Structure 1
Amino acid sequence: MNVEHHDLAHEFPEHREKIHSLKLGNAHFAKLFDAYHLVTKDVERLEGENVPVSDEVLEIQKKERIQLKDQLYAILIA
């Protein structure tokens, strides 16, 4: 299965430098960033390795990823 990558650099390439700066200088952003990447890594692993998991569990993780991404984006554009 072809897995689409959702790391923030791919999602917001125009904010690459600001992402890096905020990771180093904003503890809240860094915490959200780490949580986002943990969820993303898990979702991509489940999808890529065809791990048996219910659709409900996968959807919950994807919704969590979206919520984290929205919070990160709000900080990026603030």
Structure 2
Amino acid sequence: MLHEYRDIITHMKENSAANAHFLRIFDKHNELDDKITKAENGELVLTDKEVETLKKEKLLLKDEAYAILIQYKKEHSL
């Protein structure tokens, strides 16, 4: 997720206490991504509606994480 911001994400992880909310979002996004991939590969049985719901939740998390990254970048002049 947001690979172009890898350096900023690393910087945020180094100060994880101050960025706990972002890290929870980041981890949840990755969990959903894994679950969706497994469902699409047939390793996990989910309905199309369930996969669609997971994808929407994942996108909302990505949008929230992006907003946090941009604010963090601005505040820390990165």
C-alpha displacement at 1:50, in angstroms? 5.8
- Normalised to the residue count of structure 1, the TM-score between the two structures is 0.77
Query: Sequence identity of aligned pairs in percent?
Result: 35
Gaps of 5+ in 2: 72-78
The one-character-per-residue Cα deviations of 1:5-43 (angstroms, maximum 9, x if unpaired) are: xxx1xxx23211001122332111111111111111100
Distance 2:33 2:9 in 1: 17
Aligned residue type for 1:32: I
Aligned residue type for 1:31: R
Aligned to 2:9: 19
Aligned to 1:55: 48
Distance 1:24 1:60 in 2: 32
Larger Rg: 2
Q: How well do the aligned residues superpose, as a CA RMSD in angstroms?
A: 1.4
C-alpha displacement at 1:65, in angstroms? 0.3
Aligned to 2:24: 31
Q: Indicate if the aligned counterparts of 1:23 and 1:30 stay in contact, CA closer than 8 A.
A: yes
